Amino acid sequence: MEEKPPVGVIVLGGLNCFVLGGLFFLIGLWNILRITPQEFQTLLEVLKERGIPNEITYRQFKKLHMFSIIVSLVWGVAGAGVLLRRDWGRKTTLYFALFVTGIIFLAVLMQPSFLRRVAFQLLYLGILILYFTQKSIEKYFTDKRRKE
């Protein structure tokens, strides 16, 4: 009889695969393919009216969404690996979470007010790091007795 996966593996793997991976991939792709320069200018005007400072060009906007697509692919593949009980999925999730946390800390050092905007992301990354470094979770992924 196959061992049931821990609830955290299903929840965190599912969030990474389907939300951070799939949903954010589709949003990024939609923004690249569908938002025109005119719509982008309208968005900037709305942000300005709401007091949100912005100095981004349309080209930077496109590049930002290309980068977000790449990031979403990493989360999606890692999440799929976790759901399929592959240790490379656990390790990719763990190392990518550490990498993103490091990038966020550097950004906060350069712009301390940024911390308010990324507090929830840091909380989620911390949960990933703490969860996937537990010995019992590592054992779940590396147990040699399980059938492939």
- Digit-coded pLDDT (tens) for 20-65: 999 999 999 999 999 999 999 999 999 999 988 788 999 999 999 9
Catalogue the E-assigned strands of 1-148. none
pLDDT tens digits, one per residue of 65-85: 999 999 999 999 999 999 999
